[in-house]
Amino acid sequence: MTVANSSSKIIYADNAATTKPDAEALALMFELQEKFFANPSSAYKLSRPLKKILQESREKIAACINAKPQEIFFTSGGTESDNWAIKSSVLASLPERPNIITSAVEHKAILNSCAAMKNLGCTVTKLPVDKFGAVNPDDLREKILPQTKIISVMLANNEVGTIQPVKALAAVAHEHGKIFHTDAVQAVGHIPVDVANLGVDMLSASAHKFNGPKGVGFLYVRTGLNFAPYIDGGGQEFSKRGGTENVPAIAAMALALEKNCREMNVTAKKISACANTLLENLRGKNVDFILNGGANRLPGHLSLSFKDCEGETLLHRLDLKNICVSTGSACNSRQVQKSHVLQALTVPEDYINGTIRITFGKENSLSDAENIAENLTDILLSL
């Protein structure tokens, strides 16, 4: 995507950090914000359209992931959904302190929720991954304990794009009667997600990762699963999540998700072509790099490690060329620690620090990919 800046053009290739909100979704959000300001919970007729929009948004989102509308609970985004899934399972077990199983490559929203539960006396088991970042269902089978309450493994990794065998992992969890949650923040709206087919009990998603607005997301919870509220308050969201709903943002999220799902195949083809073009251009110039994450990755998602250099330097030098990429995940971008994901993949020591993430989105073009490859090659040569 090329965006107009005050003085120059910017190539935005950091779509795993966030995506540009869809113009129609934004227009809908602003229109609703202005015209329908009533509280959706109020009893007068001014609130009726808001109740209807809320219900229609729930239905649209449910249809996109093959869920039932009453299984969709609106939240403030991926972090809240992840916290809710992990912490509610512990709340439901009190006074016992259960075991939680997760993977070594989860987002901090899961890892730090688990760490907080560990401080309360729970035990946390982290499953290893192979060199591509995938969890082996047999490893999960071995690690399940009688006191395990919930297993949480992400659907697609935010740093390297690896798609996990979630269907097989959920099946192992259910063989042992355990709850299975997946953080699908990077997957929803980008690859087909069917909760019934995957067999997951809970799933987290975030609107700003699929061209919706920031600060809104949802948690899918399978009908019949006994789960506790995390945000206590009024009776909103079937009395499971208090707080006046942000109806304009929720409606915009539903519209953005519907659009992304409708255009999914076309977008995937387009951004895969961008990623392939970039790789071919680097290879054509004999650039030495490691492509992390294996073949089963999110479309348009590249994590590249270059020998004996700093990802931070590459990022800032590309930024000077008006190209936006990231090192590791955006949430880590101010930290200089080695990424826990790249470490879990055992990326070689002389390459790990020189890692950047380039993630194409639906507004990128092949010429963006060529431009990034050319600038990156020049920067690497100059270092």
Q: Which stretch binds ligand PLP (CB under 6 A): 22-30, 71-79, 174-182, 262-270?
A: 71-79
The verdict on 58 binding ligand PLP (CB under 6 A) reads no
Q: Which stretch binds ligand PLP (CB under 6 A): 46-54, 141-149, 180-188, 369-377?
A: 180-188
Q: How far is the CB of 299 from ligand PLP (least distance, A)?
A: 16
Q: Which stretch binds ligand PLP (CB under 6 A): 42-50, 178-186, 238-246, 367-375?
A: 178-186
The verdict on 78 binding ligand PLP (CB under 6 A) reads yes
Nearer to ligand PLP, 109 or 379 (CB): 109
The footprint of ligand PLP on residues 94-113 (CB under 6 A) is 107, 109
The answer to whether 178 and 144 have CB atoms below 8 angstroms apart is yes
The verdict on 166 binding ligand PLP (CB under 6 A) reads no
| Three-state secondary structure readout of the chain | CEEECCCCEEEECECCCCCCCCHHHHHHHHHHHHHCCCCCCCCCHHHHHHHHHHHHHHHHHHHHCCCCHHHEEEECCHHHHHHHHHHHHHHCCCCCCCEEEEECCCCHHHHHHHHHHHHCCCEEEEECCCCCCCCCHHHHHHHCCCCEEEEECCCECCCCCEECCHHHHHHHHHHCCCEEEEECCCCCCCCCCCHHHHCCCEEEEEHHHHCCCCCCEEEEECCCCCCCCCCCCCCHHHHCCCCCCCHHHHHHHHHHHHHHHHCHHHHHHHHHHHHHHHHHHHHHCCCCEEEECCCCECCCEEEEEECCCCHHHHHHHHHHCCEECECCCHHHCCCCCCCHHHHHCCCCHHHHCCEEEEECCCCCCHHHHHHHHHHHHHHHHHC
Structure tokens at 309: 């250099």
Question: Residue 201 and residue 178: Cα distance in Å, rounded?
Answer: 9
Interface pattern 261-300 for ligand PLP (x via CB under 6 A): ----------------------------------------
Q: How far is the CB of 269 from ligand PLP (least distance, A)?
A: 23
Nearest alpha carbon to residue 344 among 143, 74, 28, 126 = 126
- Of 77, 248, 293, 300, the residue at the interface with ligand PLP (CB under 6 A) is 77
The verdict on 250 binding ligand PLP (CB under 6 A) reads no
The verdict on 91 binding ligand PLP (CB under 6 A) reads no
Nearer to ligand PLP, 301 or 317 (CB): 301
The verdict on 135 binding ligand PLP (CB under 6 A) reads no
Query: CB nearest ligand PLP: which residue?
Result: 78
The verdict on 206 binding ligand PLP (CB under 6 A) reads yes
The verdict on 117 binding ligand PLP (CB under 6 A) reads no
Nearer to ligand PLP, 158 or 236 (CB): 158
- Of 98, 133, 161, 217, the residue at the interface with ligand PLP (CB under 6 A) is 217
- Of 61, 100, 170, 185, the residue at the interface with ligand PLP (CB under 6 A) is 185
Nearer to ligand PLP, 84 or 375 (CB): 84
The footprint of ligand PLP on residues 307-366 (CB under 6 A) is 329, 331
- Of 89, 152, 186, 281, the residue at the interface with ligand PLP (CB under 6 A) is 186
Half-sphere exposure (Cβ direction) of 140: Cα atoms closer than 13 Å: 30
Question: Residue 185 and residue 329: Cα distance in Å, rounded?
Answer: 13
The answer to whether 381 and 301 have CB atoms below 8 angstroms apart is no
Does residue 64 have an active-site annotation? no
Question: Residue 329 and residue 325: Cα distance in Å, rounded?
Answer: 10
The verdict on 162 binding ligand PLP (CB under 6 A) reads no
Q: Which stretch binds ligand PLP (CB under 6 A): 77-85, 257-265, 282-290, 310-318?
A: 77-85
Q: Which stretch binds ligand PLP (CB under 6 A): 160-168, 183-191, 264-272, 340-348?
A: 183-191
Contact set with ligand PLP (CB under 6 A): 77-79, 82, 107, 109, 154, 158, 183, 185-186, 206, 208, 217, 329, 331
Active site residues: 331
